[in-house]
Structure 1
Amino acid sequence: MITASSLRHLRIPFSLFLMPVFFFALALTPNHNESRILWVFLALHLFLYPSSNSYNSFYDRDEESIGGLKTPPKVTPDLFWLSMVFLGIAIGLGLQINWEFASMILVYALVSMAYSHPKIRIKKYPWGSWFIAGFFQGYFTFAMAYAGLSNLDWSTFVKPHVLIPGMLTSLMLWGSYPLTQVYQHGEDSRRGDQTLSLKLGIKGTFLFANACFLITGIAFVWYFISRNQEPIIWVYLGAMAPIILYFLIWFSFIRTNPKKYASYSWAMGMNTISALFLNAFFIYYFFENTQILQVFGY
Structure 2
Amino acid sequence: MLLVFLSLHLFLYPSSNGYNSYFDKDEGSIGGLKNPPKVKKGLYYLSLVFFLVAIILAALINIYFAGMVVIYGLVSMAYSHPAIRLKKMPYVSWIVAGFFQGCFTFCMAYAGLSDFGFEVLLMPHVFIPGLLTSVMLWGSYPLTQVYQHEEDAKRGDQTLSLKLGIKGTFLFSSIWFLFTGLAFAWFFLDRNQDWAFYGFLAALLPVVLYFYTWFWFVKKDENKYANYSWAMWMNRISAIALNIFFFWYFLENTQILQVI
Alignment of 1:138-177 (within 5 A): 138-177=102-141
**Structure 2 counterpart SS, 1:175:** helix
Report deviation, 1:118: 0.2
Report deviation, 1:163: 1.4
- Letter of the 1:41 counterpart: F
Report deviation, 1:45: 1.2
Report deviation, 1:253: 0.2
- Letter of the 1:42 counterpart: L
**Structure 2 counterpart SS, 1:184:** helix
Structure 1 counterpart of 2:21, from 57, 61, 77: 57
Residue equivalent to 1:127: 91
Residue equivalent to 2:54: 90
Structure 1 residues without counterparts, runs of 5 or longer: 1-36
1:107 matches 2:65: no
**Structure 2 counterpart SS, 1:213:** helix
Residue equivalent to 2:208: 244
- Letter of the 1:205 counterpart: T
Structure 2 counterpart of 1:74, from 38, 42, 50: 38
Normalised by the length of structure 2, the TM-score is: 0.99
Residue equivalent to 1:41: 5
Partner Cα distance (1:275, 1:84) in 2:
28
Q: Greater relative contact order (Cα 8 A, min sep 6): structure 1 or 2?
A: 1
Residue equivalent to 1:288: 252
1:256 matches 2:245: no
Deviations 1:129-151 (A, max 9, x none): 00000000000000101111111
Q: Write out the 4+ residue segments of structure 1 that deviate beyond 4 Å after TM superposition.
A: none
Structure 2 residues without counterparts, runs of 5 or longer: none
Report deviation, 1:276: 0.7
**Structure 1 counterpart SS, 2:35:** coil
Report deviation, 1:117: 0.2
Partner Cα distance (1:39, 1:225) in 2:
34
Residue equivalent to 1:136: 100
1:276 matches 2:240: yes
Report deviation, 1:206: 0.1
Identity value in percent:
64
Report deviation, 1:89: 1.3
- Letter of the 2:86 counterpart: I
**Structure 2 counterpart SS, 1:120:** coil
Equivalent pairs counted in the alignment come to 260
Residue equivalent to 2:184: 220
Partner Cα distance (1:157, 1:205) in 2:
31
Report deviation, 1:228: 1.4
Deviations 1:208-248 (A, max 9, x none): 00000000001001000111111111111111000000001
Residue equivalent to 1:18: none
1:267 matches 2:196: no
Residue equivalent to 2:157: 193
Q: Quick check: 224-233 or 174-183, which moved more?
A: 224-233
- Letter of the 1:202 counterpart: I
Partner Cα distance (1:74, 1:232) in 2:
45
1:205 matches 2:169: yes
Residue equivalent to 2:147: 183
Over aligned residues, Cα RMSD in angstroms? Answer: 0.7
**Structure 1 counterpart SS, 2:147:** coil
Partner Cα distance (1:165, 1:64) in 2:
35
- Letter of the 2:160 counterpart: L
Deviations 1:157-207 (A, max 9, x none): 111111110110000000000000000000000100010000000000000
